[in-house]
Structure 1
Amino acid sequence: MIDFKSLHTQLLKLLSGNRFEVSKKTSQQLVDYVLLLHKWNQIHNLTSIRNPLQMLSKHIMDSLAISPYLRGPHILDVGTGAGLPGLPLALTHPHYHFTLLDSNGKKTRFLTYILQTLMISNVDIISLRVEKYDVKKCFNSIVSRAFSQLNNFLHKTQHLCCKDGVFLAMKGRYPIEEINNLDNQFQLIDTPALRITGLDEKRHLLIIGFNRSL
């Protein structure tokens, strides 16, 4: 039986090992989120990760790894699913405003419940397909952990990105073919490897902007 105390202890170890500093309130909220995700997941199948301890490394730490590359104050998480990476990032970046978008009503209902239960005020939940989502404001960062194809992600979200904003595509292995096929209206800015203590998996972040030379 995984309890709050053991999860919190393990999370603090992971945060320390990856040089993340968060408040006690935030670390407690992150654990509460994992426990609620584990509970809902038994009925609603929100994530393939079943073990709450694995959720700490594979979900929480994996999400927080892109923190240094975020541009605010307005951030959109496309295909957020169970709230990843947007929810952990929102908890650790309370000065930024996050919009979490997913077309799966089961998942957005879970996220709405999380916001109410944990009293999170810097997050909006949108239950729509991204191509149907249109707002007057633009986003400084558009993040995706779930989109399978890079150009597809960029084209479906470009109408939502500020001219000087960035697209942050989280990938596993270095996606050389997708990078080589990047449409010329976009520009690859950087491809940092994401090294996460406690997670033995290859992770990369593609940082992309609009090609200003066109």
Structure 2
Amino acid sequence: MEREPPALSDGALSKLSSGLRELGLDAGLQAPLRRYVELLLLWNGTYNLTAIREPEAIISKHLLDCLAMAPFVSASSLVDVGSGGGFPGIPLALACPSLRVALVETAGKKARFLREAVRTLQLGDRVAVHAMRAEQVPAGVGFEVLTARAFGTLAEILRVGGHLLAPGGRLLAMKGRLDEVMAEPIPEGFRLEACHPMQVPGLDAERHLAIVSRTG
């Protein structure tokens, strides 16, 4: 796209800055995260990357919700299945400089945006875009972490992407109410390891991080 990205308002930048501070993340992340959100806004009108249009809502409901997971990503490799606009893979790649990330997206237009975001943010040395189904992704020895936001239940995420996890690898999934998470069935070969209550800055909603480990 040839148009210039829209600049974030002072209110949106303040929300981003305070959110990073509340999460205990490096204030230096604000500049690349700002570029990412502005690029997302530029492409969103044509490519429908997210139904949320307001910049401040994107920051709280998408960006900070993803970044709240960062302290739990103590790994060297992560695969983000159904990445869409890049959530949570791109924010986590920015927050975790040693993390190698694979963004998996079947929709060609969204994959095109992901490649542009990777190029703009200079992440090409450790972030790869796979424009294919998760079942087609070469796993190699497997990824240490699996994430996904475009699916419903934990079982559905694991059905599509569980094979990409290395033995002992973990699914990290941001979910809502604790009772709903605990009621979800876990497929054979996996176990629910933990479910942490999460406080996302600017988001007035119950959030939990479900951690499911691969046992077989």
| Identical amino acids, percent of aligned pairs | 33
Deviation at 1:136, TM superposition (A): 1.6
Does 2:89 correspond to 1:68?
no
Please tell me whether residue 58 in structure 1 is matched to residue 61 in structure 2. yes
Report if aligned partners of 1:90, 1:98 keep a CA contact under 8 Å in 2. yes
- Superposition map of 1:74-113 within 5 A: 74-113=77-116
| Whole-angstrom CA distance in 1 between matches of 2:155 and 2:8 | 42
Match of 1:9 among 14, 32, 35: 14
Query: Residue 164 of structure 1: CA displacement?
Result: 1.4
Q: SS state of the match for residue 84, structure 2? A: coil
The letter for the 2-side match of 1:68 is: P
**Number of corresponding residues:** 210
RMSD: 2.0
> Which of residues 39, 44, 49 in structure 1 aligns to 2:42?
39
CA contact 1:71–1:140 (8 Å) conserved in 2: no
- Counterpart check, 1:19 vs 2:42: no
Taking a change above 3 Å as real, the CA distance of residues 87 and 153 of structure 1, as seen in their structure-2 partners, is same
| Cα drift, residue 194 of structure 1 | 1.5
CA contact (8 A) 1:8 1:28 kept: no
Q: 2:140 aligns with which of 133, 136, 140?
A: 136
Match of 1:167 in 2: 171
Name the CA distance, whole Å, in 2 between partners of 1:146 and 1:175: 21
Match of 1:95, SS state, is coil
Residues in 1 aligned to 2:157 and 2:184: alpha-carbon distance in whole angstroms: 15
Q: Distance in 2 between matches of 1:188 and 1:176?
A: 13
Q: Distance in 2 between matches of 1:118 and 1:47?
A: 19
Bigger shift: residues 184-193 or 85-94: 184-193
Structure 1 residues 176 and 39: alpha-carbon distance in aligned structure 2, compared to 1, 3 A threshold: same
| TM-score after normalising by structure 2 | 0.89
Compute the TM-score of the two structures, normalised by the length of structure 1: 0.89
Stretches of structure 2 that go unaligned for 5 or more consecutive residues are 1-5
**Compared CA separation, residues 101 and 184, structure 1 to 2 (3 A):** same
Letter of the aligned partner of 1:197 in structure 2? P
SS in 1 for 2:197: coil
Distance across 2 between alignment mates of 1:140 and 1:101: 15
Residues 1:207 and 2:211 are matched in the alignment:
yes
Q: Distance in 2 between matches of 1:156 and 1:8?
A: 36
AA aligned to 1:208 is V
8 Å Cα contact 1:63/1:88 also seen in 2: yes
Q: Confirm whether residue 118 of structure 1 aligns to residue 121 of structure 2.
A: yes
